[in-house]
Chain A
Amino acid sequence: MSEPKEIFVRTDRCVGCLSCTIACAVEHSASKTLFGAVGETPAPKSRVYVEWVESDKKVPIVCRHCEDAPCMYACISGAISRNKDGVVITDTDKCIGCWTCVMVCPYGVIGRHLETHKAYRCDRCPDRDVPACVGACPTGALIYKTVPAYSASVRRHASREFVKAEGG
């Protein structure tokens, strides 16, 4: 199995412009265009959130698609499963809207669709190579990479800092 990619967040890069939330909602709209999406009913919904942490941190937060996903085990109707790409998905036909997944999700990234009475969350944009939120981020705060590739970039950065701290 090839190494799956994950959405990683570099909180030091986020300026809180919310471009990710707009791009996400647009990608999950019928028209898939901004100017079309703003007029649609029901209103398209973003699956990515940007939280504010005192005093000036902005933190984009999105479904982690946990390997040991609490939502998947908690779902009493068997609506939540993992697909072949490792993405945790909610089968809306099976979802009964009990919100158990919402209770157990440690990140709070599962939403309630008032019109359809179903739960919704990040689906990693199945029609795109790179998720819409990542593509829209103007500062590179959202990264779409495999774990080894992301870890390698963090190691490279840490190494440079290490050398700098030693006076190199």
Chain B
Amino acid sequence: MGTSDKILGKSIDPAVHQMLERAEKLNMETAWDRYEKMLPQCGFGELGVCCRNCNMGPCRISPFDDQGPKKGICGATADIIVARNLIRMIAGGAAAHSDHGRDLAHTLLLTAEGKSGGYEIKDEAKLAALAAEYGIDTDGRTKEEIALDLARAVYAEFGKQEGPIRFTRRAPEKRVAQWQKMGIDPRGIDREIVEIMHRTHIGVDNDPVNLILQGLKASIADGWGGSTIATEISDVLFGTPSPVRSEANLGVLKKDHVNIVAHGHEPVLSEMILAAAADPALVAKAEAAGAKGINVVGMCCTGNEIIMRHGIPIAGNFLQQELAVMTGAVEAMIVDVQCIMPALGDLCSCFHTRFISTSPKAKFPGAVHMEFHEEKALETAKEIVGAAVENYGNRVAEKVFIPGEKTECMVGFSTEAIVKALGGTLDPLLDAVKSGAVRGIAGVVGCNNPKIKHDHGHVALVRELIENNVLVVTTGCNAIACAKAGLMLPEAAEEAGDGLAGVCRTLGVPPVLHMGSCVDISRILTTCAAVANALGVDISDLPVAGAAPEWMSEKAVSIGAYVVSSGIFTVLGTVPQVLGSPLVTEVLTRTANDVVGAAFAVETDPVKGADLMIAHIDKKRAALGI
């Protein structure tokens, strides 16, 4: 039976095709169906000219010159409304990443105090390095004593009033000086987010450029603050990732095992789920129930966290979460925070799957709430895994369909691992860039979005880059797309241009390096800063570029803003809700160059998007004289 063109048009992933056919047969709805029902989407929303910030409204500005209102009731123009809406999205994204970072700081604090139920400090080298960065004394002190000081220091970053946020100083001096000159050097993580909410309240900041500058400031507090804290403290607690082999796609679910999907973002939960799933008593219970064992797999960024630290297979990216449930083989879908579709509740009720929410911050219709606190982490994790094991008996064999697709991948390229792969110094990479073997480096990140063919935006853009000798570093849903497409194997060097392929073969690494979850874009920033510092230039001078080919979340808006604020040209593959303001569009795509040395471009064709990045890289190479 041939798959319909309609389904083939939704994704490039054969596992997705099979599951969508199955959804059609079972008359079950997915995000793709809901997207179609949403069409046409409201033009005012698409252009960003709708304001609901006060109850004189809602107001919306007509995008056409001679028709309809040109100002909101308060007098706000399209430029003001678009700028306010944009930075509120940045506030949402920065809050999400940073609250994730805060949770890690909290876990470290409890662990240092001996109050956490099962966590330990795994990476003492990282702990010492971070302590040195914070000026914390390490001589003759236990790791718990050092960790306590570090936890308090990073915790304080969130409530700091006058800055600086310590990790922002990893950026080259020139970059920090530029931030200070423009008034966008963040003072504290929470403060900048709060200030966005204040400024966008009725009757406060009504200068679109001043609004956007505050957006950039909060985004820097995310990227170089909250997200970096999330990454670094996760490494201290769970280990800094190093290259490991695993598998990606729905085929990692096992027909004869208790399948647990760990979905969401924070490793605080998933690390304990892994520990609990290895508990001999629970494994025995699973075997007694007729299963061959307990199979934990990841989904979305939780998946990225555990695949890169433990080689735990990853079942898919954002748009595959519903499809995993539709295999009928998932005993428990365990979630914490971010990018979890509330649609999972209704869907799980069509199967035996238990939808288990764990965070006091995130409850869902149709979910069983088994609240997770660090103090009793392992205990709760065992209860959750126990619930999954008990549910194995409820699985209906006729309802099980697991697509065979799974692809091998090599993941876990933290900054430290990259330096190690290079032989302990960045020099071989710098030499390869200087010689032109590696034309430049591209960070490709971001979500899935039914507005663009699933994984096509990611994979087509990345393929075009590596063919043109651009080394790709990736996180988030792009990383998962690349893993599924086989681009994260050293063998994928064959798909790269000659120069890049040679470097990959010499080092035994893939042309696309998995750097982690979405907060781990901080690793890309740290690496860029290290390269810029090694060359004595600013990040904006480097032959590097960024892209978010299938972005959809507020977090992605914050990411885009901090990547551009860090001096990196960034291509967006879906159109942001700003085109209702010619001024804001101009600021983001052009004027930003004068403020932070980089700007955005929007290109919905992924190959053309890659070509824009390559052209930018070539321009920077020429300026550097290489």
Where the two chains meet, the residues of A that have a C-beta atom closer than 8 Å to any C-beta of B are 17-19, 21-23, 25-26, 34-35, 37-39, 43-46, 114, 135-136, 138
> In this assembly, does B43 line the interface, its C-beta being within 8 Å of a C-beta of chain A?
yes
Q: Kindly identify which residue among A34, A43, A114, A135 contacts B43, using a CB–CB cutoff of 8 Å.
A: A34
Q: Supply 8 further A-B pairs (C-beta < 8 A) apart from A38-B64, A43-B67, A138-B42.
A: A18-B60, A19-B40, A22-B44, A34-B43, A34-B579, A35-B579, A38-B580, A44-B64
> In this assembly, does B594 line the interface, its C-beta being within 8 Å of a C-beta of chain A?
no
Where the two chains meet, the residues of B that have a C-beta atom closer than 8 Å to any C-beta of A are 40, 42-44, 46-47, 60, 62-68, 575, 579-580, 582
Q: How far is the CB of B67 from chain A (nearest CB, A)?
A: 6
Q: A34-B43, A35-B579, A136-B40 are in contact. Are A46 and B67 (CB under 8 A)?
A: yes
Return the chain A residue nearest B46 by Cβ. A34
Return the chain B residue nearest A50 by Cβ. B68
Contact A18 B68, beta carbon cutoff 8 Å: yes
Return the chain A residue nearest B60 by Cβ. A18
Contact A21 B67, beta carbon cutoff 8 Å: yes
Contact B575 A38, beta carbon cutoff 8 Å: no
Q: Which of A34, A38, A43 has the most CB of B within 10 A?
A: A38
Chain A residues with Cβ under 8 A from B65's Cβ?
43
Roughly how many angstroms separate A26 CA and B66 CA in the complex, as a whole number? 14
Contact A114 B66, beta carbon cutoff 8 Å: yes
| Sample of 22 A–B contacts (CB below 8 Å) | A18-B60, A18-B62, A18-B68, A19-B40, A19-B42, A19-B43, A19-B44, A21-B67, A23-B40, A25-B67, A26-B43, A34-B579, A37-B64, A38-B47, A38-B64, A38-B579, A39-B582, A43-B64, A43-B66, A43-B67, A114-B66, A138-B42
Roughly how many angstroms separate A135 CA and B41 CA in the complex, as a whole number? 11
Contact B579 A46, beta carbon cutoff 8 Å: no
Chain A residues with Cβ under 8 A from B60's Cβ?
18
Roughly how many angstroms separate A42 CA and B92 CA in the complex, as a whole number? 37
Q: How far is the CB of A144 from chain B (nearest CB, A)?
A: 15
Q: Kindly identify which residue among B63, B66, B575 contacts A22, using a CB–CB cutoff of 8 Å.
A: B63
Contact B43 A23, beta carbon cutoff 8 Å: yes
Roughly how many angstroms separate A138 CA and B46 CA in the complex, as a whole number? 14
Contact B40 A25, beta carbon cutoff 8 Å: no
Contact B42 A45, beta carbon cutoff 8 Å: no
Contact A18 B575, beta carbon cutoff 8 Å: no
Chain B residues with Cβ under 8 A from A135's Cβ?
40
Roughly how many angstroms separate A87 CA and B247 CA in the complex, as a whole number? 61
Chain A residues with Cβ under 8 A from B42's Cβ?
17, 19, 138
Chain A residues with Cβ under 8 A from B43's Cβ?
18-19, 22-23, 26, 34, 136
Contact A35 B44, beta carbon cutoff 8 Å: no
Roughly how many angstroms separate A85 CA and B47 CA in the complex, as a whole number? 35
Return the chain A residue nearest B604 by Cβ. A35
Q: Which of B40, B44, B46, B65 has the most CB of A within 10 A?
A: B40
Roughly how many angstroms separate A38 CA and B44 CA in the complex, as a whole number? 11
Those 6 A-B pairs whose CB atoms lie nearest each other, nearest first: A22-B43, A43-B65, A43-B64, A38-B63, A136-B40, A25-B64
Roughly how many angstroms separate A22 CA and B47 CA in the complex, as a whole number? 11
Contact B67 A138, beta carbon cutoff 8 Å: no
Chain B residues with Cβ under 8 A from A25's Cβ?
64, 67
Roughly how many angstroms separate A135 CA and B65 CA in the complex, as a whole number? 23
Chain B residues with Cβ under 8 A from A46's Cβ?
64, 67
Q: How far is the CB of A91 from chain B (nearest CB, A)?
A: 23
